[in-house]
Chains A and B, each alone.
Chain A
Amino acid sequence: MNVSSVKGSMSISSSTSTWKAGDTISDQFPAGLRVLVVDDDPTCLMILEKMLIACLYKVTKCNRAETALSKLRENKNGYDIVLSDVHMPDMDGFKLLEHIGLEMDLPVIMMSADDGKQVVMKGVTHGACDYLIKPVRIEALKNIWQHVVRKRKNEWKEFEQSGSVEEGDRQPKQSDDADYSSSANEGNWKGSKRRKDEEEETDERDDTSTLKKPRVVWSVELHQQFVAAVNQLGIDKAVPKKILELMNVPGLTRENVASHLQKYRLYLRRLSGVSQHQSNLSTIISAQDPTFGSLSSLSGLDLQTLAATGQLPAQSLARLQAAGLGRATAKSAIPITLVDQRNIFSFENPKLRFGEGQQQHMTNKQQVNLLHGIPTTMEPKQLVSLRHAAQSVGNMNMQVPPHGPQSSQNNPLLMQMGQQQQQQQSRGQILVDSTINHAPRLSSMGQPILSNGMATNVSSRSGIPENIRAPGYSQTPSMLNFPMNHASELPGNCFPLGSTPGVSNLTSKGAFQEDVNSEIKGSGGFMPSYDVFNDLNQHKPQSWELQNVGIAFDSSQHSNSLQGNLDLTQSALGQQGFSSGQMNGHNRSAAVASKAMFSTGDVKELRSAQNVNQHLNNLLVDNTIRVKSERVCDTSPANIFPDHFGQDDLMSALLKQQESVASSENEFDFDGYSMNNIPV
C-alpha cells in the first residue's frame, strides 16, 4: 500500500482493494470501500456480507474477533472500516473496538440486537463511530462510508498542515513510543503506549519511522500547554495546527504536536477503556436518568461541602442540584458521572436533594469511580474518610458512599462537580462528557481541563474549553472544602491538581495544593513524568496536574494499595506546596482526592488530606459546584490545609474558603449559600 502515513484512507491503500493507488478518493467512492465485518452469528454475517456487497463495498467477513484482529494486524492498511457485533463468544465487542481504536485507529461501527441505552452508550464511550441496531438495514450500510471520510479528513488535516505526511501520525502508537520514550510524558502515556508497543503494529512503522524528526522532549510544562490547548479546542476539534498555534511554542512543529496528540488520544482512550471496565459507568449512566446526571455534576462533593459547611442551606444545594440536573441533561456523558457521583456521595442530609438521590444511587450503583479512569480504589475508604471529615468538620452531611475501587468513577463526579460550579452545568457536563467519553481516564483528560478551569479560578472554568475534558478543574477549590467528605470523589479524573489555574483562589489552600502536588508526585507509583507537574501545578492549570492525579489513581488502581498511595500522595502533597495558587485549589482537591482515594483506612487526617485532594480533583472536574466550595477554600490563604488536614483544619479552611469563594467564580448560582456567608 502506498499509503502514506495516512491511514490507508485516502485512497491509496492499494492492496487488493479496488482503489487505485494514488487516488485520493476514487471516483467510485464509496464503492470499493474495504469493510471488515465481524459477527459470530453466521446468518447475520451472511446477510451483512450480502448487503455490503450490494453497496459495492469490498467485504471481508470473520466470525470471530480474534480472527478479525489478526486480519487487521497483518494488513494494517487493508481495511477502511470495521463492523462488529457486540456480543461475541471469544471477545467482547467493546474490547475489540478498543483494540482496533488503539492499534489501527480505524472507524468501527458496532451492531447489536440490543438497543438498550446502556449498551449504546457503552459503544459511544468506547469510541465506536456508530451503533446499528439489528436487524441492520441496507440503507444504514449505505452510509457507513461517511465515517471513513470523516476520519480521513481529520487525519489529512494534520498531515497537510505539517507537510510531512510520513509522519508517524498515522501510527502514533508505534512510532510514538519510540520517540517519546524519554520525554516527560512518558509517565502515563508511556505506560499506555507501551501497551501498544506490544502490538504488532511495529511493522507498520516503516512508513512513519523513517521520517523521524529530531526528538522533541515533551516536558511537563509543554505538555500542560498542550493539554490546555487541546481542551480549549475540544478533543474532537483539536487539530495539530490549531494546537500549535495555541501553544505558541517556538521551535515546535506541527508534526510534533500531531504525534503527541496521537499518543495523547490513545492514552485517553486507554484510560477510558480501563475506567470503563472498572466502573461500568456506561451501564450506570445509561441507567441514570439524565437529570440525575446533572445532579451528579453538582457532585455530591459540592453539595456536600456546602452541606458540610452547614452554611449551605439545603435549598441552595437543591438548587444547585437542580441546576446541575438541568444542565446535565444535556450531556450524556454527564449522566455517567452523575451516577458516579451519586454513588460516591451519599448525602445524609435529607434536605439535600442531591444527597438523597445520591445515596440511593450510590447504594445501588456500582461504585462509580468519580475519578473516571483514575484508579481510585480508595474510593470507598475515602468516602469514609470524607465522611468522617465531614462530620468532624461540622456536621457535614456529606456522606461518602463507599465506592468500590472504581476510580474512574470518581472523576466523573469530580468533573461534574467542578463543572457545575464553574460554568453552567452544560459546561461542566462537557467536561464530564469529555472525560467520560473521551477517555475515561480522566487523568489525561481531566488535566487539561482542570487546569484551565483552575486557572480561571474556578470561575474561570468558563474560560476553559471544558468541553472536553476538564470536568473538574476549577472545582478544586471547592474540593478542598469537600475533601473531607469527598475525598473519594476527587481522585482520578479530575486532575484538578495540576490544572488548577483557576485555583489560584484555592491556592490559599496552599496546604492542599502542596498535597496535591505531592500527591501527584508522591504517587510514586505514578508515572514519574508527573513530577514535573509539581512545577506545573503551580501554574499550569492544565491537565497535567490532573494527570498526576490521574496517575496517582492509576497507580492506586493497579496496586490497589490505597494506603501506599496515601502515603505517596501525602508526601507528595507535602512536597509540593502549591505555590502557584492555581494548584492550590485544585491541588488541594486533587491531593485530597488522591489522598482520599488512597486512604483506605488512614487516619482521618490523611483522609481529609486526601479528600481534599480528591476534592481538588473533583473540583477541577466539577468546577461548577466545586468552584463554589472551592472558592471558599481558595480565598483562605494557603495552607489552610496542611498536609494532614485535620477535620478542624478542613473545617476552617472550608469556612474560609466559603467566604472567599463567595466572590469567586461560580457561575453557579448557589444562591442558597454563598460562601461568604459561612461563618468561619
Chain B
Amino acid sequence: MESKHVHEQIAAMRQSFFNEEVLNENFSQLEQLEGKDNPNFVEEVFTMYLRDSIAFLETIEEAMKTIPIDSIKMDSILHQLKGSSASVGANKVLKEVNKTRQVLGKGNLERTKASILELRKEYDSFKAKLEPYFQLKQANSVAQEK
C-alpha cells in the first residue's frame, strides 16, 4: 500500500540518519516528546533550528571577512550553535562546530576558515537530508488521517 510504502520509506530514511551518524540519540529523545497533542513537535523544532543556525552561520561567515576577526563574538555564536545542535541531535554538525571552535581558539586563521567551510557544508547536507524526511512524514501523516 502506498501508505505502508511511504511508512517504510520514512523509517528507512530515519534509520539511515542514525547509521550515518547524522543524528544521534538526542533526536530520539525529541521524538519521544512528540505525542498526540503535538504530532509535529520534532518538525517544529527542526524548522526552528535550521532557521536559527543558518543565521548563525551567516553571521560567522560575515565575521570572518572582517579583519581582524572578532573571535570572541564568533566563539560565542559557535557556542550557541553547539548548544542547539546538540539539543536537536545534529551530530555531524555538532562535531564540525566543535572542531571550528578549537581551531578558532588556536588562532589559526586559515584553518578556521577552512573549518567554517566544512561546517557550512555539513549543515547544508544536514538540511538537505532532514527536510525531505519531514516532508515525507508530514505527507504521510496527512495521508493517514484521510
Binding site for B on A (CB under 8 A): 40-44, 46-47, 50-51, 54, 85, 87, 112-114, 134-138
- Which one of B10-18, B41-49, B61-69 is at the interface? B41-49
- B residues near A85, Cβ cutoff 8 Å: 83
- A residues near B54, Cβ cutoff 8 Å: none
Q: Do A47 and B45 touch (CB < 8 A)?
A: yes
Q: Do A47 and B79 touch (CB < 8 A)?
A: no
Of residues 86 to 129 in B, which have CB atoms within 8 Å of A's CB atoms? Answer: 86-89
**Interface residues of B, count at CB 8 A:** 22
Q: Do A43 and B86 touch (CB < 8 A)?
A: no
Write out, one digit per residue, whether chain B residues 24-68 have a CB within 8 A of any chain A CB (1) or not (0): 001001101100001001001100110010000000000000000
How far apart sit A114 and B82, CA to CA, in the bound complex (Å)? Answer: 9
* 26 examples of A-B residue contacts, CB within 8 angstroms: A40-B80, A41-B52, A41-B84, A42-B52, A43-B45, A43-B48, A43-B84, A43-B88, A46-B45, A46-B48, A47-B30, A47-B88, A50-B38, A50-B41, A51-B33, A87-B79, A87-B80, A87-B83, A113-B82, A113-B86, A114-B79, A134-B83, A135-B26, A135-B87, A135-B89, A136-B87
Binding site for A on B (CB under 8 A): 26, 29-30, 32-33, 38, 41, 44-45, 48-49, 52, 76, 79-80, 82-84, 86-89
Which single residue of chain A is at the shortest CB-CB distance from B26?
Answer: A135
Task: List 6 additional A-B contacts (Cβ < 8 Å) besides A50-B30, A87-B80, A114-B79.
Answer: A41-B83, A43-B84, A47-B45, A134-B86, A134-B87, A138-B33
One of A51, A112, A137 near B83 (C-beta < 8 A)? A112
How far apart sit A43 and B54, CA to CA, in the bound complex (Å)? Answer: 13
How far apart sit A46 and B30, CA to CA, in the bound complex (Å)? Answer: 11
- A residues near B29, Cβ cutoff 8 Å: 135, 137-138
Query: What is the distance, in angstroms, from A83's C-beta to the closest C-beta of chain B?
Result: 13
How far apart sit A114 and B83, CA to CA, in the bound complex (Å)? Answer: 8
How far apart sit A135 and B49, CA to CA, in the bound complex (Å)? Answer: 14
A-B Cβ contacts below 8 A, count:
60
Q: Do B26 and A50 touch (CB < 8 A)?
A: no
- A residues near B84, Cβ cutoff 8 Å: 41, 43-44
Q: Do A87 and B48 touch (CB < 8 A)?
A: no
How far apart sit A274 and B52, CA to CA, in the bound complex (Å)? Answer: 35
Q: Do A41 and B80 touch (CB < 8 A)?
A: yes
Query: What is the distance, in angstroms, from A143's C-beta to the closest C-beta of chain B?
Result: 16
How far apart sit A276 and B52, CA to CA, in the bound complex (Å)? Answer: 33
* 10 closest residue pairs by CB, A with B: A113-B83, A135-B86, A135-B87, A43-B84, A43-B49, A113-B82, A134-B83, A50-B33, A135-B26, A43-B48
Which single residue of chain A is at the shortest CB-CB distance from B83?
Answer: A113
- B residues near A135, Cβ cutoff 8 Å: 26, 29, 83, 86-89
How far apart sit A54 and B41, CA to CA, in the bound complex (Å)? Answer: 13
How far apart sit A201 and B22, CA to CA, in the bound complex (Å)? Answer: 49
How far apart sit A138 and B49, CA to CA, in the bound complex (Å)? Answer: 19
How far apart sit A51 and B26, CA to CA, in the bound complex (Å)? Answer: 12
- B residues near A136, Cβ cutoff 8 Å: 87
How far apart sit A41 and B79, CA to CA, in the bound complex (Å)? Answer: 11
Query: What is the distance, in angstroms, from A133's C-beta to the closest C-beta of chain B?
Result: 9
- A residues near B79, Cβ cutoff 8 Å: 87, 113-114
Which single residue of chain A is at the shortest CB-CB distance from B49?
Answer: A43
- A residues near B88, Cβ cutoff 8 Å: 43, 47, 135
How far apart sit A137 and B84, CA to CA, in the bound complex (Å)? Answer: 13
Which single residue of chain B is at the shortest CB-CB distance from A88?
Answer: B80
How far apart sit A54 and B33, CA to CA, in the bound complex (Å)? Answer: 7
How far apart sit A85 and B76, CA to CA, in the bound complex (Å)? Answer: 13
How far apart sit A137 and B33, CA to CA, in the bound complex (Å)? Answer: 11
Q: Do B76 and A87 touch (CB < 8 A)?
A: yes
How far apart sit A422 and B52, CA to CA, in the bound complex (Å)? Answer: 55
- B residues near A44, Cβ cutoff 8 Å: 83-84, 87
Query: What is the distance, in angstroms, from B145's C-beta to the closest C-beta of chain A?
Result: 22
Query: What is the distance, in angstroms, from B65's C-beta to the closest C-beta of chain A?
Result: 22
- A residues near B82, Cβ cutoff 8 Å: 113, 134
How far apart sit A642 and B68, CA to CA, in the bound complex (Å)? Answer: 56
Which single residue of chain B is at the shortest CB-CB distance from A138?
Answer: B29
Query: What is the distance, in angstroms, from B60's C-beta to the closest C-beta of chain A?
Result: 15
- B residues near A41, Cβ cutoff 8 Å: 52, 80, 83-84
Query: What is the distance, in angstroms, from B127's C-beta to the closest C-beta of chain A?
Result: 14
- A residues near B30, Cβ cutoff 8 Å: 47, 50
Query: What is the distance, in angstroms, from B21's C-beta to the closest C-beta of chain A?
Result: 15
Q: Do A43 and B26 touch (CB < 8 A)?
A: no
Q: Do B83 and A42 touch (CB < 8 A)?
A: no
Given contacts A135-B26, A137-B29, contact A47 B76 (CB under 8 A): no
Query: What is the distance, in angstroms, from A88's C-beta to the closest C-beta of chain B?
Result: 10
How far apart sit A14 and B83, CA to CA, in the bound complex (Å)? Answer: 34
Which single residue of chain A is at the shortest CB-CB distance from B47?
Answer: A43
- A residues near B32, Cβ cutoff 8 Å: 138
- B residues near A114, Cβ cutoff 8 Å: 79
Query: What is the distance, in angstroms, from A52's C-beta to the closest C-beta of chain B?
Result: 10
Query: What is the distance, in angstroms, from A214's C-beta to the closest C-beta of chain B?
Result: 52
- B residues near A137, Cβ cutoff 8 Å: 26, 29
- A residues near B80, Cβ cutoff 8 Å: 40-41, 87, 113
Query: What is the distance, in angstroms, from B26's C-beta to the closest C-beta of chain A?
Result: 5
How far apart sit A137 and B29, CA to CA, in the bound complex (Å)? Answer: 8
Q: Tell me which of B29, B44, B83, B84 has the highest count of chain A C-beta atoms within 10 A of its own C-beta.
A: B83
Which single residue of chain A is at the shortest CB-CB distance from B98?
Answer: A113
- B residues near A43, Cβ cutoff 8 Å: 45, 48-49, 52, 84, 87-88
Q: Tell me which of A43, A113, A138 has the highest count of chain B C-beta atoms within 10 A of its own C-beta.
A: A43
Query: What is the distance, in angstroms, from A363's C-beta to the closest C-beta of chain B?
Result: 21
Which single residue of chain A is at the shortest CB-CB distance from B78?
Answer: A113
- A residues near B48, Cβ cutoff 8 Å: 42-43, 46
- A residues near B45, Cβ cutoff 8 Å: 43, 46-47
